Amino acid sequence: MTPTGPSMNVSATRKRKVLISGASISGPALAYWLHRSGCAVTVVEKAGAPRDGGYPIDVRGTATEVVRRMGILPQLRDAHIDTRRCTFLDADGGEVASLTSRAVAGGAEGQDLEVRRGDLAAILYAMVRDDVEFLFDDSIATLDQSGHGVDVTFHSGQRRTFDLVVGSDGMHSPTRESLFGPEEQFHHYLGYCFAVFTMPNTFGLSRELMVWNTPGKAAALYAVGDDDELHAFLNFHRPEPPVDVLRDPGAQRDLVATVFAGAGWEVPRMVNAMHDADDLFFDTAGQIRMPHWSSGRVTLVGDAAYAPSFLTGQGSSLALVGAYVLADALARNRDHTAAFAAYERGVRKFVAMNQALVDNGAATFFPTTARALEQRNTMLRGLDTMPSATARPAHSALALPEFAPMP
């Protein structure tokens, strides 16, 4: 008897062809699990290679279990940054508190990982590059779902048809835009703007984070390992997003320089370095919140669907967990509608819990009033004398199913 319908086993049918847009964290992680469940996977990335760089990111709780099941936990442990301390400073650069990073972020001792974003992306890419087709320097131009699959035209001119398409192309996902419309509908602004860039480590910092605060403003220098470069970070409160500067790097530099004019500590040197930086990244802090992540044969994963913002430190963990749950749902359901529904059911509560962490991050690192800053400082001085904080429940709130058996 030929199996039919939603419960039909994947092994009894031809290979599903899946296109993934974006080769950062969620894209290659999804590619790994889809390949493992017997799909023919293509990943298209607009950059010429997996992109390096970025601030260090965290892999925690349930996401640690995902990377363990992928077999890359030992590599990530080797790449772990192991920041020694986090020092908070007042307006003049005087020390408020010096703590372990775990005490500040709430991590599980010996289990959570902090790695360079580029290292995680490279490890994930290495896992799949021999098994999955990568199309670099290209991107999706049009998606047409009127037939029995998704007809895709690429900007290179190539045309192909896939059974499914997944947008893993980040916070400003073009796949989301083409499917669901402009980002403004889904972007939940969190009241901050930030600029990140690298600058020479002329401060002699090593494996540590320095955070300077005044009400509504923060400057941070992050010495990752013993590198001779520092990650610099300037963050400021704005009740409304400065929409007019988001596409104008010159105006972004001017805005940051104006906001931080007259600031103490090393902030003037940081502002000067920002003017010279060739890797400046400016954006608003925000979350993507959508009522649904799928439309027809196309769905979204990672930041494209549910970016939690850097304030939660959970972007990469959600990306890894979301990729696992989506691939598992597809392996169990030949019917993509049922699979996408199972994916949403499986991960939405976890996403909501982690997006809700944003208030903690904002209150700790970026108090906006003098009173909130003083309360924060009192809290930090208290932490100083306490043992490390326990892990946040939201990080581990999802129990992963065993991955669907090999077809």
Ligand X SMILES: Cc1cc2nc3c(=O)[nH]c(=O)nc-3n(C[C@H](O)[C@H](O)[C@H](O)COP(=O)(O)OP(=O)(O)OC[C@H]3O[C@@H](n4cnc5c(N)ncnc54)[C@H](O)[C@@H]3O)c2cc1C
Sheet holding 159-162, edge to edge: 140-144, 150-154, 159-162
Largest CA distance in the chain: 78
Give the binding-site size for ligand X (rule: CB under 6 A).
Answer: 30
Tell which positions 295-314 bind ligand X, by CB under 6 A.
Answer: 302-303, 310
CA distances from 161 to 7, 10, 148, 179 (A): 24, 19, 9, 17
Contacting ligand X (CB under 6 A), which of 61, 107, 170, 216? 170
Stretch near ligand X under the rule CB under 6 A, chosen from 44-52, 62-70, 375-383, 399-407: 44-52
Tell which positions 336-395 bind ligand X, by CB under 6 A.
Answer: none
Task: Specify burial of residue 377 (Cβ count, 10 A radius: 0-12, 13-18, 19+).
Answer: middle
168 binding ligand X? (CB under 6 A): yes
Nearer to ligand X by Cβ, of 21 and 213: the residue is: 21
Nearer to ligand X by Cβ, of 63 and 271: the residue is: 63
Q: Which of 352, 349, 348, 354 is nearest to 313 (CA)?
A: 354
Contacting ligand X (CB under 6 A), which of 22, 191, 216, 286? 22
Integer Cα distance of 367 and 205 in angstroms: 25
Beta strand 217-223 pairing with 95-99: unpaired
Residue whose CB is nearest to ligand X in the complex, by number: 302
What share of residues in the chain are helix, strand, coil (percent, to 5)? Answer: 35, 25, 40
Categorise residue 315: left if φ over 0, alpha if ψ from -120 to 50, beta otherwise.
Answer: alpha
CA distances from 250 to 195, 276, 281, 292, 355 (A): 12, 12, 12, 36, 31
47 binding ligand X? (CB under 6 A): yes
Query: Minimum distance between the CB of residue 174 and ligand X, rounded to whole angstroms?
Result: 4
Stretch near ligand X under the rule CB under 6 A, chosen from 54-62, 204-212, 220-228, 284-292: 54-62
Stretch near ligand X under the rule CB under 6 A, chosen from 8-16, 20-28, 142-150, 267-275: 20-28
Query: Minimum distance between the CB of residue 132 and ligand X, rounded to whole angstroms?
Result: 15
197 binding ligand X? (CB under 6 A): no
User: Which parts of this chain interact with ligand X (CB under 6 A)?
Assistant: 21-27, 44-47, 51, 53-55, 57, 117, 139, 168-171, 174, 196, 302-303, 310, 315-316, 319
